[in-house]
């Protein structure tokens, strides 16, 4: 599906469905297995319970779409060296990449230019308003190789074995269903594909971000390792963030986590 002025029926249908049925999930209205309304729903639509903690880490709330302007602030390049992030990714023309938790598309638009007309960007988010903003920005720039995907909190809805690179910038720490989402990302990767996490450094008190929205390297590795990924490479040259590249661990088998 291309992002074009002529419209995109699949996205509209997805967004309409989402607006009618899923919006509360995006804003932290978490259902539990004991929720009577959830219990009354047919099994196919019941949500797995959202986690408050994962492997000792408190999960942060989702950034609300009303704050999206912050994602495209003028100082972002100076503060976060986003051009260095893109350089490190090594994206080539023709690749299929995913901007997971794309927000209003700050990275999706740049990735779309890098993969070129023969490549594709899956831009995934749980808030339809974020995808509307992304679509407007892509249209304004005449970009047509972005496929917006409206995710649910536990499923990015990416096609299997489709993606060379999955980028999560300032997203992973917000996932309310980390194991489920990581499982889905693992399945969406091509065999040699990589998942790249960019997270504010918890180890550095000078990084001016609230503690819940930061992560340590140790915690990132712990969580990814528990879900079938192994650290392939890391880049330590960003002013505020870790940048960590993970490959699928072929030896891994799922096991129970607390």
Ligand X SMILES: C[S@@+](CC[C@H](N)C(=O)[O-])C[C@H]1O[C@@H](n2cnc3c(N)ncnc32)[C@H](O)[C@@H]1O
Nearer to ligand X, 101 or 228 (CB): 101
Among candidate residues 223, 114, 231, the one with its CA nearest the CA of residue 178? 223
103 binds ligand X (CB under 6 A): yes
Q: Mark out the alpha helices in 51-169 (DSSP H runs).
A: 76-80, 82-89, 106-115, 128-140
101 binds ligand X (CB under 6 A): yes
Tokens of 28: 């932290």
Distance, in Å, from the CA atom of 250 to the CA atom of 247, rounded to the nearest integer, reads 9
Distance, in Å, from the CA atom of 133 to the CA atom of 49, rounded to the nearest integer, reads 29
Nearer to ligand X, 212 or 221 (CB): 212
Candidate ranges 31-39, 83-91, 114-122, 170-178; the one touching ligand X (CB under 6 A): 170-178
Tokens of 117: 């007309």
Q: Looking only at residues 122 through 161 of this chain, which bind ligand X when binding is defined by CB under 6 A?
A: 124-127, 130, 151, 153, 156
Nearer to ligand X, 192 or 210 (CB): 210
Q: To the nearest whole angstrom, how small is the minimum distance from the Cβ of residue 44 to ligand X? A: 19
**Rounded to whole angstroms, what are the CA distances from 249 to 173, 209, 233?**
21, 31, 14
Candidate ranges 6-14, 44-52, 96-104, 250-258; the one touching ligand X (CB under 6 A): 96-104
Distance, in Å, from the CA atom of 224 to the CA atom of 244, rounded to the nearest integer, reads 10
80 binds ligand X (CB under 6 A): no
Candidate ranges 173-181, 199-207, 214-222, 229-237; the one touching ligand X (CB under 6 A): 173-181
Task: Show the binding pattern over residues 175-214: x = contacts ligand X (CB under 6 A), - = does not.
Answer: x-----x---------------------------------
Pairing of strands 96-100, 146-150: unpaired
Q: Around Cβ 146, how many Cβ atoms within 10 Å? A: 26
Residues 6 or more apart whose CB falls under 8 angstroms from that of 196 comprise 89, 165, 166, 167, 168, 243, 244, 245, 246
Tell me how many helices (H) and strands (E) the chain has: 9, 10
Size of the site for ligand X (CB under 6 A): 22
Please name the helix (run of DSSP H) or strand (run of DSSP E) that holds residue 166, with its range, or none: strand 163-169
- Among 18, 54, 106, 122, the residue binding ligand X under the rule CB under 6 A is 106
Nearer to ligand X, 5 or 91 (CB): 91
Q: Looking only at residues 219 through 258 of this chain, which bind ligand X when binding is defined by CB under 6 A?
A: none
- Among 110, 133, 145, 170, the residue binding ligand X under the rule CB under 6 A is 170
Nearer to ligand X, 62 or 227 (CB): 62
Positions touching ligand X (CB under 6 A) are 62-63, 71, 101-103, 106-107, 124-127, 130, 151, 153, 156, 169-171, 174-175, 181
């Amino acid at each position: 599906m291309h992002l074009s002025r002529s419209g995109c029926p699949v996205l509209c249908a997805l967004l309409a469905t989402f607006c009618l049925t899923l919006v509360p999930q995006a804003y932290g209205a978490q259902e539990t297995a004991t929720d009577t309304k959830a219990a009354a729903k047919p099994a196919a639509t019941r949500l797995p319970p959202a986690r408050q903690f994962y492997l000792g880490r408190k999960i942060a709330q989702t950034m609300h779409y009303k704050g999206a302007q912050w994602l495209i602030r003028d100082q972002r390049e100076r503060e976060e060296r986003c051009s260095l992030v893109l350089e490190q990714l090594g994206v080539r023309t023709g690749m299929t990449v995913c901007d997971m938790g794309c927000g209003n598309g700050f990275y999706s638009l740049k990735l779309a230019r890098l993969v070129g007309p023969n490549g594709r960007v899956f831009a995934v988010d749980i808030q339809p308003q974020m995808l509307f903003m992304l679509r407007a920005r892509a249209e304004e720039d005449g970009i047509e190789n972005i496929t917006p995907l409206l995710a649910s909190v536990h499923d990015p809805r990416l096609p299997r074995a489709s993606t060379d690179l999955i980028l999560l910038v300032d997203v992973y720490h917000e996932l309310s269903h980390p194991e489920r989402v990581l499982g889905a990302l693992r399945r969406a990767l091509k065999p040699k594909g990589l998942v790249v996490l960019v997270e504010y450094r918890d180890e550095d008190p000078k990084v001016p971000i609230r503690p819940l929205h930061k992560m340590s390297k140790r915690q990132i590795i712990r969580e990814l390792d528990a879900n079938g990924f192994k650290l392939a490479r890391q880049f330590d040259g960003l002013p505020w963030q870790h940048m960590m590249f993970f490959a699928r661990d072929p030896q891994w088998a799922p096991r129970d986590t607390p």
